[in-house]
Amino acid sequence: MGGLFTAIATTADQSLTLFEIGLTLLVLGILAFGAVKIKISVVPFYLITGLALGQGSIVPLTLSEDFLNTGAQIGAILLLLMLGLEYSGAELAEAFNTKKSVGAIDFFSNAVPGALIALILGWGWIGALVLGGITYVSSSGIAAQMMKETGWQRSLLSKRVASVLVAEDLSLAPYLPLLTSILAGLGAIAGFLSVAVALLMTGLALVFSFKGQRAVSRVLNKDAPGGLLLTVFGAALVAAGLAELVGFSSAVAAFLVGLVLTGEVAHAARLRLSPLRDLFAAIFFLFFGLSIQVTEVIAVLPLALLLAVVGIAGKMFTGWWVARDMTDDMSWKRAGAFLIPRGEFSIVIAALAAGSVTFGGQIQALTWTYVLITSLTASIALRFFRSKFER
């Protein structure tokens, strides 16, 4: 009888867990509908929901914590996988050749100010490396969604914005392994080897993207959607898991898997994986908010506002540099607005640095607030940066 009661109790717990997960996803879905209705990025709503349901809240999510943790990891992997599927080696090369100076302008306008602020705060060079990365990298996911919602995803402006996003995203390939090794205290030699492996893997992925399209098409059949979905998603998870075992970034490993796939196969994979990406990305942003308390956000709010002002100014300057020669006087402002939001990559960097003794207690709450402010600002700014024709 004891075993029977134990089984019943376990089943009841599992049922409550399913109910909690289902109710959470239902709330996120309603928020997504609302965000589309008012034409604002849904990411701030996910972040706020996580904060409302996190530690110290009235109704904290406790039963489904393990599921949400795993879902958040899958969300980060899918975000980077889908990013890799967006580009081919030829497109990357064309983007860099077209706007060679954009990467440097973007770096000095956004990464350097963040690093300097970290040094002023006394966080040291490691803190500068972390905060510089958080303020540097725009959210490709949010930017792509905003361009789609405003109808600019197929325009010349979007291609120029994409060239900036590509440069930033590729810089993560050496940056994330280097940051991981430094934060883990592996030493200079291990850090050098980690970066060397990252650069080698990135180079091989780019070469294969150029040369291996036919081979991929022969192996992966775009007309078998179920098989394609399972194969690509499974390959990304395998690569991410193996990368973590050897000290490489799982997110970058997933990005490289996506980068290898090009042409019709990549297009078909994007169509199949997009719903999964949307689901787990929502969990990714939600989970980040769960680990933060309102009191922590209040404590870092002045610093977050300072970073946001500097970060918005930096991205607007980058936008001006990218689109300064376009005839529409709103083009550079719109380009800057697309680049303003920080998101998934800033959160990944903050999660890596959360264990730091010097600044780890602040970095997650600071990044949460920073991402919230920049994503909201971008969505609101786009309402004003419209051409006379659009008005």
Q: Is 110 inside a domain boundary?
A: yes
Among 179, 180, 194, 203, smallest CA distance to 256 is for 203
Q: Is 390 inside a domain boundary?
A: no
Whether 385 contacts 330, CB under 8 Å: yes
Number of domains in the chain: 1
pLDDT band at residue 209 using 50, 70 and 90 as cut-offs: low
Q: Is 194 inside a domain boundary?
A: yes
Range of the domain at 250: 2-384
Q: Is 197 inside a domain boundary?
A: yes
As given in the structure block, the two tokens for residue 191 are: 């850090």
- The pLDDT of residue 52 is above 50: yes
Write down the pTM of the prediction: 0.82
CATH number at residue 215: 1.20.1530.20
Contact partners, residue 304, CB within 8 Å, separation at least 6: 366, 369, 370, 373
- The pLDDT of residue 165 is above 80: yes
Average pLDDT over residues 63-80: 81
- The pLDDT of residue 51 is above 70: yes
Q: Using one digit for the tens of pLDDT, what is the confidence trace for 210-223? A: 665 566 666 676 66
Q: Is 59 inside a domain boundary?
A: yes
Q: Using one digit for the tens of pLDDT, what is the confidence trace for 93-133? A: 665 665 567 888 999 999 999 999 999 999 988 899 999 99
Q: Is 176 inside a domain boundary?
A: yes
Predicted pLDDT at 4:
47
Q: Is 39 inside a domain boundary?
A: yes
Q: Is 391 inside a domain boundary?
A: no
CA distances (Å), origin 7, targets 1, 10, 13, 65, 66: 10, 5, 10, 21, 20
